[in-house]
Amino acid sequence: MPYPIRGGFTVTIAGTSTVTGEFDLVRLVAKLEPPLAPLKNSFVVLSVIADVTFYGRDQAGNAVSATGSVQINFGDFSS
């Protein structure tokens, strides 16, 4: 089972507006460790689902959170 990732990510959302931001779903070092490293130079594709939860506070100091899931396909797509 992969290790959870914790880190900082900041956006400010005004009212009902929408914002766009970027964050890493996979640690760079994870690509050098099993189960991802053995995928190099192979035709195997590993499909996983990452559950992502953001925690924060609104302008009034109230705790807020949002959770979603995203599918990630790992493989050696260079060839």
Domain span at residue 57 reads: 1-79
**72 or 15, which is more confident:** 72
Nearest Cα neighbor of 13 from 77, 66, 75, 67 is: 66
Number of domains in the chain: 1
For the stretch 21-79, pLDDT in tens is 888 888 888 889 999 999 999 999 999 999 999 898 888 999 999 999 999 999 999 86
